[in-house]
Amino acid sequence: MHYQASENRYANMLYRRCGRSGLQLPAISLGLWHNFGSEDVFSNARNILLHAFDNGVTHFDLANNYGPVPGSAEETLGKVLKQDMSAYRDELVISTKAGYYMWEGPYGEWGSKKYLVSSLNQSLKRMGLEYVDIFYHHRPDPETPMEETMAALDLIVRQGKALYVGLSNYSAEETQKAENILRELGTPCLIHQPRYNLFDRWVEDGLTTVLDKRGIGCIPFSPLAQGLLTDRYLKEVPTDSRMAKAHFLKESALTDVKRRAIVELNELAQQRHQSLAQMAIAWLLSNKTVTSVLVGASSTKQLDNNLGALNNVEFSPEELSKIDTICQPVI
């Protein structure tokens, strides 16, 4: 059945300028880390992607190793783009990354020019694209000189294979150094993608200051702490949850202190007429440094719940203070 995007797709989404660039991103972007690989149900992945776009989510975020199996999330997006969304390519912002292990041998991970250029070429082929909008270096490389890694990002832009470049998982000091190199090369750093949520605030110890000063956007991943900042774990561990399956979230992560904080945060969210997930996303969006929040979704229903965060992104000083008090034992 031929897909035609909703005529009202831009009616309710908020768009924010990314740092000091000309690019605007939706306040909520869709990450394809889970639920879009070859081991998942394609029809469900397709429905989520199309539903997201119908609701103004124009930014889809990937990496070379997303799946499972690695690479298959890009293949899934490529299939949906080809059969449903090719007419809307210029309305989309598509990003991918390279930095983690992808193939055997000395050129299959980290930050060499050889790896980054080869990886992006593979990603473009999997997605059936001539270029991506944003290409990230996924993690710092302790062995490769940063000058080489940043020169590779600059080369990729000059080759027309990416419009912008970004960093992920870089510390404040590393980000500042990388940004200096990129600026000298003539390819400024557009955006930084860090792990950031109510329980994990390392970015506040210097990184947000660097991003503000240098005019770099911020798009946090894991805004719900891999599901902890939802109502799923208020009482027990559901048998169908990520924690029960030990998929990147161990039961040991749910300490008594953290469970008490989750319960108290949920009570505050209810007072705000939000779900806990919605409040956690809204809290990130209340930070002026944050351009967009990267969410995952296993269903259109879950995506709709996340999008509901946009109905209330304002916090009183008292609410922010209470959140900090609740989270302090966990941070």
Would you say residue 64 lies in a domain?
A: yes
**Domain span holding position 121:** 15-327
Instruction: Report whether 23 contacts 93 (CB < 8 A).
Output: yes
Q: Name the H helices within 15-145.
A: 42-54, 72-80, 113-127
User: Which stretches of the chain drop beneath a pLDDT of 70?
Assistant: 1, 235-251
For residue 32, which phi and psi values (nearest 5 degrees)? Answer: -110, 30
Would you say residue 20 lies in a domain?
A: yes
Would you say residue 3 lies in a domain?
A: no
Contacts made by residues 201-205, CB under 8 angstroms, sequence distance 24+ = 201/331, 205/172
User: Which pLDDT score, from 0 to 100, does residue 242 have?
Assistant: 55
Cα 52 to chain center, whole Å?
14
Structural domain count of the chain: 1
Q: CA–CA separation, 202 vs 194, rounded Å? A: 9
Would you say residue 4 lies in a domain?
A: no
pLDDT digits (tens, 9 = 90+) for 258-305: 999 999 999 999 999 999 999 999 999 999 999 999 999 999 999 999
User: Which pLDDT score, from 0 to 100, does residue 244 have?
Assistant: 45
User: Which pLDDT score, from 0 to 100, does residue 187 have?
Assistant: 98
Q: CA–CA separation, 316 vs 321, rounded Å? A: 9
Q: What is the CATH number of the domain that holds 271?
A: 3.20.20.100
Would you say residue 133 lies in a domain?
A: yes
pLDDT digits (tens, 9 = 90+) for 20-29: 999 999 999 9
Would you say residue 215 lies in a domain?
A: yes
Number of C-alpha atoms within 13 angstroms, CB side, residue 47?
14
Lookup: tokens for 307: 């999008």
Tokens 């997930």 appear where?
277
Number of C-alpha atoms within 13 angstroms, CB side, residue 162?
28
Would you say residue 190 lies in a domain?
A: yes
CB-count exposure of residue 55 (10 Å: 0-12, 13-18, 19+): buried
Residues 6+ apart with CB under 8 A from 277: 224, 229, 230, 231, 305, 306, 309
Q: CA–CA separation, 234 vs 260, rounded Å? A: 9
User: Which pLDDT score, from 0 to 100, does residue 247 have?
Assistant: 59
Would you say residue 10 lies in a domain?
A: no
| Residue type (1 letter), 71 | G
